[in-house]
Amino acid sequence: MVSVKLVNYIQNTSEMNIKLKGDYLTLSPTLKLKEGVKYKLIVKQGELYIKDSSGRKKIPGSFTLIPESYDQNLIYINDRPYQGAMDFTIENEKYIRPINQLHLEDYLKGVVPFEVFSEWDLEALKAQSLAARTYALMHLNGEQQMDDTIKFQVYGGFSTFERTNQAVEETKGEIITHNGKPIHAFYSASNGGHTESNGNAWGGSDISYYPIKPDPYDPKEPWEITLHKQQLPTEYFLFAWEFPGIWKHFEEKNKEITANIKSWLQSQGYQNTKILSIPHFSISNQQTESGRSINGSITIRFMYQLPGNFVLMDQISLDDVPLTKIRPMIGGSIFRSYLITSFDSSGSAYQMKGNGYGHGVGMSQWGAQQMARAGKSYKQIIQFYFPGTKISSVN
């Protein structure tokens, strides 16, 4: 059985809609939910309530829904179906946090089509199934509760994708092992044409089945960023003092990037910010053996609004720090990898180009697809990306 916290599609919410297909039991003798009825769960002042057409009822603490028939029953949360049992808990006294409990193989059916394209070649989908199954197995009893985001594996609930379901079923129970033990099966979308070692990516000792080597199958997935040095005119700081109502109309040139920077600033204690400029941004020449950049520097000049419409200006600089600290500020879906092919800071903007999408350790998902299209089996794909490992039965 797998336990996965639902975060990705629900986010942080104090209310959600649920509907049942089939009969479910609860651990509370006073709570009975009916099939097909639309219910609303609400958290108010740290208490959980359930509401239907007949009114609202308080639920003491959390509650669990257990299907009387596992294979036939579904729980719909905001119209997204989930199989298995569901715990509904209160998080931070204000959010509803569902935790889905289901069989490992059914969990994988909800992972594979959300990690790769369900239309891909079957052998690539099988390789993804093995990597996802092995990864999940190594996290079943981990210190952290698995969730449904990219922090672990993206899980989308009950799957109706026939091709990915077939890939999971045809590899049922198969995992990747080394010296008789399951491995930590890492993968990313694209390694940019060159795999990376686990030691370079996250520190620690290098593992033999994560070598640095060229990948002729990976399509490299080139990307490009243009980041304007001046995001807002400096005089906007004075406008914000004199005309507080104009604040909401300030829009930076790079809206998506500055939205990520604002989220990072919020984690540093700054609320309600506007980015004025990026006066400095650079990438060091130091690289790993795979050609990935290691360090960089960035300076953010911004203004922030205090209660009473007071506006202050500040600046934060990160000098010669690991790029693992800068990439999240800009956004991993924009700054896609550390395999940077060119960087230019002339003119009014920074221009950065690179290859790949993700850390580059282990299996390249796009590379696996290209191998499958070239006629390689899923076992050959696994052996190429995890050399020296074996495919074993989880039993």
Kindly compute the dihedral angle of the four CA atoms of residues 178, 179, 182, 185, in this order, to the nearest 10 degrees: -20
> Which of the four pLDDT bands, split at 50, 70 and 90, describes residue 310?
confident
Minimum mean pLDDT range among 202-206, 299-303, 361-365, 391-395? 391-395
**pLDDT level of residue 144 (50, 70, 90 thresholds):** confident
The answer, yes or no, to whether residue 114 has pLDDT greater than 80, is yes
Cα–Cα distance list, 209 to 356, 383, 387, 389 (Å): 20, 9, 5, 7
Q: Within 10 Å of residue 307's Cβ, how many Cβ atoms?
A: 7
Are the C-beta atoms of residues 116 and 84 closer than 8 Å to each other?
no
Nearest to 5 by CA among 209, 153, 117, 161: 153
Average pLDDT, the chain: 93
Burial of 8 (0-12, 13-18, 19+ CB in 10 A): middle
Task: For residue range 43-99, list pLDDT tens digits in order.
Answer: 998 889 999 888 888 887 788 999 998 888 999 999 999 999 999 999 998 999 999
**pLDDT greater than 80 at residue 392:** yes
- Percent of the chain at pLDDT above 90? 79
Report d(CA 365, CA 126) in Å as an integer.
11
| pLDDT greater than 90 at residue 394 | no
The arithmetic mean of pLDDT across residues 293-315, rounded, is 91
On the question of pLDDT at 289 being above 80, the answer is yes
pLDDT above 90 (res 375): yes
pLDDT score, position 308:
75
Task: Tell me how far CA of residue 292 lies from CA of 178, 193, 311, 355, 385, in angstroms.
Answer: 27, 11, 40, 10, 19
> What CA–CA distance (Å, rounded) separates 281 from 321?
12
How many other CB atoms sit within 10 Å of the CB of residue 40? 13
For the record, the structure tokens of 79 come out as 């119209």
Per-residue pLDDT at 142 exceeds 90: no
CA–CA distance, 170 with 156 (Å, rounded to integer)? 20
Dihedral angle sign, alpha carbons of residues 328, 331, 337, 338: negative
What contacts 81, CB < 8 A, 6 or more positions away?
A: 21, 74, 75, 157, 158
Tell me the average pLDDT across 128-142: 90
pLDDT tens-digit profile of 185-242?
999 999 999 999 999 999 999 999 999 999 999 999 999 999 999 999 888 777 776 7
Q: What is the DSSP string of 341-379?
A: EEEE--TTEEEEEEE-BS--BSEEHHHHHHHHHTT--HH
Calpha distance 378→168 (Å, rounded): 12
Strand pairing partners for 321? 296
102-111, 133-142, 217-226, 338-347: the lowest-pLDDT one? 133-142
- Burial (CB < 10 A; 0-12, 13-18, 19+), residue 54, is exposed
Q: Take residue 162 and report the two structure tokens written for it.
A: 């026939």
Would you state the pLDDT for residue 237? 79
Q: Is 229 or 245 the better-scoring residue by pLDDT?
A: 229
CA-to-CA distance for 229 and 279, rounded, in angstroms?
6
